[in-house]
Amino acid sequence: MRIPANAWLAAACLGLAGPALAAETLTIATVNNSDMIRMQRLSKTFEEQHPDIKLNWVVLEENVLRQRLTTDIATHGGQFDVLTIGMYEASLWGEKSWLVPIKDLPADYNLDDVFPSVREGLSANGNLYALPFYAESSITYYRTDLFKQAGLTMPEKPTWEQIGQFAAKLTDKGKDQYGLCLRGKPGWGENMALLTTLANGYGGTWFDKSWAPQFKGDAWKNALNFYVDNMKKSGPPGASSNGFNENLALFNSGKCAIWVDASVAGSFVTDRSQSKVADSVGFTFAPHQSTENGTSWLYSWALAIPASSKKQAAAKTFAAWATSVDYAKLVADKDGIANVPPGTRASTYSEAYLQAAPFAKVTLESLKVANPAATADKPYVGIQLVTIPEFQAIGTEVGKIFSGALTEKMSADQALADAQSRTERDMQHAGYPK
Partner 1 sequence: MMTLKQSRRLQSVALGGLSWLIALLIFFPILWMVLTSFKTEIDAFATPPLFFFHPTLENYIHIQERSDYLHFAWNSIAISFSATILCLLIAVPAAYSMAFYETKRTKQTLLWMLSTKMLPPVGVLMPIYLLAKGTGLLDTKLALIIIYTLVNLPIVVWMVYTYFKDVPRDILEAARLDGATLLQEMLRVLLPISKGGLASTALLSLILCWNEAFWSLNLSSSQAAPLTALIASYSSPEGLFWAKLSAVSTLACAPILIFGWISQKQLVRGLSFGAVK
Residues at the site binding partner 1, with contacts judged by CB under 8 A: 27, 29, 31-34, 37, 40-41, 56-64, 67-68, 71, 75, 77-80, 176, 243-245, 248-249, 252-253, 255, 262, 264-265, 268, 273-276
Measured N-to-C along each axis, helices 191-201 and 218-234 cross at an angle, to the nearest 10 degrees, of 120
Do 171 and 234 contact (CB within 8 A), yes or no?
A: yes
Do 52 and 41 contact (CB within 8 A), yes or no?
A: no
Residue 249 CB, nearest approach to partner 1 (Å): 4
Measured over the CA atoms of residue 277, residue 281, residue 285 and residue 290, the dihedral's sign is: negative
Nearer to partner 1 by C-beta: 314 or 419?
A: 314
Do 393 and 305 contact (CB within 8 A), yes or no?
A: no
Nearer to partner 1 by C-beta: 124 or 264?
A: 264
Nearer to partner 1 by C-beta: 163 or 269?
A: 269
What span, in angstroms and rounded, lies between the C-alpha atoms of 177 and 156?
24
Q: By three-state DSSP, how is residue 209 classified?
A: coil
Nearer to partner 1 by C-beta: 40 or 110?
A: 40
Nearer to partner 1 by C-beta: 262 or 406?
A: 262
What span, in angstroms and rounded, lies between the C-alpha atoms of 245 and 62?
13
Residue 13 CB, nearest approach to partner 1 (Å): 31
Nearer to partner 1 by C-beta: 60 or 325?
A: 60
What span, in angstroms and rounded, lies between the C-alpha atoms of 13 and 7?
10
Residue 123 CB, nearest approach to partner 1 (Å): 24
Nearer to partner 1 by C-beta: 125 or 253?
A: 253
Residue 377 CB, nearest approach to partner 1 (Å): 32
CA 249, chain centre distance (Å): 19
Residue 333 CB, nearest approach to partner 1 (Å): 19
Label residue 295 exposed, middle or buried (CB < 10 Å: 0-12, 13-18, 19+): buried
Nearer to partner 1 by C-beta: 240 or 275?
A: 275
Label residue 248 exposed, middle or buried (CB < 10 Å: 0-12, 13-18, 19+): buried
Nearer to partner 1 by C-beta: 223 or 385?
A: 385
For 123-135, b where at least 16 C-beta lie within 10 A, e where not — what string? bbeebbbbbbbbb
Q: Omega of the bond prior to 433 within 30 degrees of 0, cis? A: yes
Residue 24 CB, nearest approach to partner 1 (Å): 14
Residues pairing with 53 in the sheet: 24
Residue 106 CB, nearest approach to partner 1 (Å): 27
* Helix or strand (DSSP H, E) at 133: strand 131-136
Do 96 and 69 contact (CB within 8 A), yes or no?
A: no
Do 276 and 252 contact (CB within 8 A), yes or no?
A: yes
Residue 429 CB, nearest approach to partner 1 (Å): 21
Residue 432 CB, nearest approach to partner 1 (Å): 26
